[in-house]
Amino acid sequence: MDNKHISVLLNESIEGLKIKKEGIYVDCTLGGGGHSAQILAQIKDGHLFAFDQDTYAIKVASEKLSKIGDNFTVINENFVKIKECLNSLGIFEVDGILYDLGVSSFQLDMAERGFSYRFDGPLDMRMNQQDSLTASIVVNDYSLPELKRILYEYGEERFAPLIAQKIVLERTKQPINSTLQLVDIIKKALPASVLRKDAHPAKKTFQAIRIEVNHELDYLKKSINDGLELLCIGGRMVVISFHSLEDRIVKQIFKERTSINLPKDMPIIPPEYEPKFALVNKKIIVPTENEINENLRSHSAKMRIIERVK
């Protein structure tokens, strides 16, 4: 892990959790351990549970956390198992849950992990290296309709048909095994006008494949819904997302949990219909200009906070 890892919206997320020193907190995305370290430092009489499916991240972050305290437990699982894992440890209620979504910067910077379109590496993209599905399987084995659907839905790539067709054509000549090999194919598929733009031409395709490989959106929906059920009264959930698909899911779930659907002519709201949750910030929280200048990867970050009120 290099020293460039910077936690996004660090101060804002810690403030958003409204930490109590005796509280039980969950960091669903341990990563480089930046958020976890800040939480652990404030809960001398509490306990931190941190999830990550990346064994390298766990090793390095655990060393970092051990220097702060020993009142933490690292769980080597995807956060989709938040409820199942915590319940198995006898934890049925927590004071706060944090999600810092997206790929950790150190994963992007490790070429051999295959997440980056800037470095050459194997087409992998697995956050959990024990999983069987890799980016190579998606690129080389998925049908044309499947590839188009993934690029449209998960990458919001308007040139999905062109890119998918080019991938299918090129893989008949030879297997597509490396990240830069795929980048070259994507560039050949796109119009010259797109290649002249500032955004990297492969960004959306790589995002789409990564989401497919790691089941990110389905897992996110289940984990957030299960996590909300774990919050005690006064407990908060903070979610930092980095692209519109994630943010849309978070926004929709938070809206459903904080809204009531009753006939307009009903004079009073029966207690059982009152929402159990309330939004802490009606307007999304975004990084300051200073943070964006210091950490370019933070520019698309959006933070939402919800609290259990009853």
Task: Supply the pLDDT for residue 1.
Answer: 37
Q: How confident is the model at residue 272 (pLDDT cuts 50, 70, 90)?
A: confident
In a domain, 109, yes or no: no
108 lies in a domain? no
Pair 165, 230 in one domain: no
Residue with tokens 């990240």: 179
Closest to 224 in 3D by CA, of 193, 190, 252 = 252
Residue 71 domain flag: yes
Reported pTM:
0.89
Domain of residue 140 covers 120-214
pLDDT digits (tens, 9 = 90+) for 23-72: 999 999 998 899 999 999 999 999 999 999 988 889 999 999 999 999 99
Q: Are residues 161 and 135 in the same domain?
A: yes
Beta-bridged to residue 27, according to DSSP, are: 50, 98
112 lies in a domain? no
89 shares a domain with 229? yes
Number of domains within the chain: 2
pLDDT at position 204 over 90: yes
Q: Do 94 and 235 fall within a single domain?
A: yes
Q: What's the CA angle centered on 34, arms 86 and 16, to 5 degrees? A: 70
More confident residue, 53 or 147: 147
- What does the alpha-carbon distance between residue 205 and residue 221 come to, in Å, rounded to a whole number? 22
Residues 171 and 300 in one domain: no
CATH (domain of 303): 3.40.50.150
Does some domain include residue 113? no
Asked whether residue 77 carries a pLDDT value surpassing 90, the answer given is yes
- Flag whether 2 is in a domain: no
Q: What is the CATH number of the domain that holds 125?
A: 1.10.150.170
Tens digit of pLDDT for each residue in 161-192? 999 999 999 999 999 999 999 999 999 999 99
What's the pLDDT score for residue 2?
40
pLDDT, tens only, 91-112: 999 999 999 997 776 677 788 9
Name the token pair of 249: 């899911």
